[in-house]
């Protein structure tokens, strides 16, 4: 199997690191060599967080090169735009249609770009999801990242049971039920 490259991007507090651990655990359980790398930036102040998940028969390094990602999972629109250049020509973007203003926009030094998803859709295969509203519907907004992951799971070669097992073994015990509910909500969208 060729090495698969997944990039997960968001801002601090969106569950990017947990998501990468779920994906890494899934590939590890399937018997693949797995490498994870996390770049936190100014995460605690709402800055970018990027994680790389690479898996295959043998993975030499944890970093995904530009133009090599099979999947970009973005928890916020602008983060999807910032990291889209990492995708392969036939790569896929799974994006949470949410706007979180970065500091330059908050201070008035810059404007938040409009039409991000439409722009990305003109260049890439994009699946957009309003995971935050879905998370509100199921009763816990902190699970929106697992909803996005559920949508991404439809485009990956693992069974629902494999996903469920890894989620059960990765999230805190008291949140297993709500995270499984979130995963299925995303998977069914």
Domain residue ranges of the chain, discontinuous segments joined by +:
4-187
Q: Which residue is listed with tokens 């967080």? A: 49
Q: Specify whether the CB–CB gap between 6 and 53 falls below 8 A.
A: yes
Q: Residue 42 pLDDT more than 60?
A: no
Domain topology for 4-187: Pyruvate-ferredoxin Oxidoreductase; domain 3 (3.40.920)
Query: Which pairing describes strands 48-56 and 33-39: parallel, antiparallel, or unpaired?
Result: antiparallel
The mean pLDDT of 19-26, rounded to a whole number, is 93
**pTM, whole model, 2 decimals?**
0.91
Confidence (pLDDT) at 11: 85
E strand or H helix that includes residue 35 = strand 33-39
Q: What is the mean pLDDT of the chain?
A: 91
Q: Exposed, middle or buried, 34 (CB in 10 Å: 0-12/13-18/19+)? A: buried
3-state secondary structure of 42: coil
Cα 52 to Cα 39: distance, rounded to the nearest angstrom? 9
Smallest Cα–Cα separation from 98: which of 46, 50, 138? 46
Cα 36 to Cα 67: distance, rounded to the nearest angstrom? 18
- State pLDDT tens for residues 111-144: 999 999 999 999 999 999 999 999 999 999 999 9
Confidence (pLDDT) at 155: 81
Q: Specify whether the CB–CB gap between 69 and 7 falls below 8 A.
A: yes
Confidence (pLDDT) at 71: 95
User: What count of residues does the chain have?
Assistant: 189
């Amino acid at each position: 199997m060729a090495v698969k490259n997944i990039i997960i991007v968001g801002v601090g507090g969106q569950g990017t690191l947990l998501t990468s651990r779920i994906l890494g655990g899934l590939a590890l359980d399937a018997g693949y060599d797995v490498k994870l790398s996390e770049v936190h930036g100014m995460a605690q102040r709402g800055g970018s967080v990027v994680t790389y998940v690479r898996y295959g028969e043998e993975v030499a390094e944890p970093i995904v090169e530009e133009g090599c990602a099979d999947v970009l999972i973005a928890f916020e629109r602008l983060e999807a735009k910032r990291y889209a250049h990492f995708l392969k020509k036939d790569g896929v973007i799974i994006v949470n249609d949410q706007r979180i203003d970065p500091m330059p926009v908050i201070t008035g030094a810059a404007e938040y770009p409009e039409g991000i998803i439409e722009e990305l859709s003109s260049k890439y295969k994009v699946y957009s999801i309003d995971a935050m509203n879905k998370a509100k519907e199921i009763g816990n907004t902190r699970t929106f990242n697992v909803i996005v992951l559920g949508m991404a799971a439809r485009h990956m070669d693992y069974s629902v049971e494999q996903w469920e097992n890894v989620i059960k073994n990765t999230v805190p015990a008291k949140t297993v039920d709500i995270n499984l509910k979130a995963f299925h909500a995303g998977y069914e969208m």
